Amino acid sequence: MIRTAPPHWRANTLAGVRHGFFGREGGVSTGIYASLNAGTGSRDDPKAVAENRARIAASINIAPSHLIGVHQVHSPEAVFVAMPWAGERPHADALVTTTPGLALSILTADCAPVLFADASAGVIGAAHAGWKGALSGVLEACVALMRKHGARDIAAAIGPCIHQASYEVGPEFMERFVAADSGHGRFFKAGKGDRRLFDLPGFCAARLRATGVERVETLPLDTYALPARLHSHRRSVHEELGDYGRNCSAVMLGPSPLHEGRA
């Protein structure tokens, strides 16, 4: 079967490796999942999800079995992977590999997908950074594991996620961050009444730079604000849809680009 490559975005910082940030266009799902839903944990038709994932894999020129992910649990856990999982996926929120031909993937629907690469050292990583994981250290764990396996000059890209203008939270949310570090207050600005607006990609970028990762790119893509192009959990809650699709982000060692998509 010849599959059309779904539209996707790329980051300049990751030009040395194959990668793509996929949204909701280019798949076969219908209804609230339309159309490219990569979420195996959603209540979408499993056959549609499998076809969507196969289209993403085909974009990277690999078999669907080599599009690797973890059972994401909003943790700070990072795991090393050398081959496709033989059984259950580990519970973790970041992956690292040095194996060409394995595509590390992250599923998100407002949380930040972060892809990493040190192309010269042959080490890549991917992390699921929701606010819990970002605050508890998932990005630092991914960077540390990459360095353990030889990475020295790491670049990172923060993909489509909910941006500050759309991320309204209560005062208790901000207090949790400030309790961890008073400097975290700079990632919040005033909203309506006692509401605050949280800058998730800005927080992630700052955490990355604090680890010594200087080349960090943030794609200007707000999942909540782009309903035709990206899945969003928060938007689905506000619209009382009952479930939601998942965006997929993937990275793989190899200089060849993905099939043409959005730059």
The pLDDT value recorded for residue 3 is: 77
In a domain, 156, yes or no: yes
Dihedral (Cα; 247, 158, 249, 9), 10-degree rounding: 90
The pLDDT value recorded for residue 258 is: 60
In a domain, 263, yes or no: no
Q: Which of 93, 81, 72, 213 is nearest to 141 (CA)?
A: 93
- Tell me the three state secondary structure of residue 114: strand
Tokens representing 89?
């996926």
In a domain, 182, yes or no: no
In a domain, 47, yes or no: yes
User: pLDDT confidence of 263, banded at 50, 70, 90?
Assistant: very low
Of residues 258 and 180, more confidence is placed in 180
Which amino acid is it at 202?
Answer: G
The pLDDT value recorded for residue 4 is: 80
State the residue for tokens 């990005």: 139
Q: Give me the number of domains the chain comprises.
A: 1
In a domain, 3, yes or no: no
Question: Which CATH number does the domain housing residue 22 bear?
Answer: 3.60.140.10
- The range of the structural domain enclosing residue 121 comes to 8-163+199-252
pLDDT per position as a tens digit, 81-121:
999 999 999 999 999 999 999 999 999 999 999 999 999 99
The pLDDT value recorded for residue 261 is: 53
In a domain, 89, yes or no: yes
In a domain, 187, yes or no: no
In a domain, 210, yes or no: yes
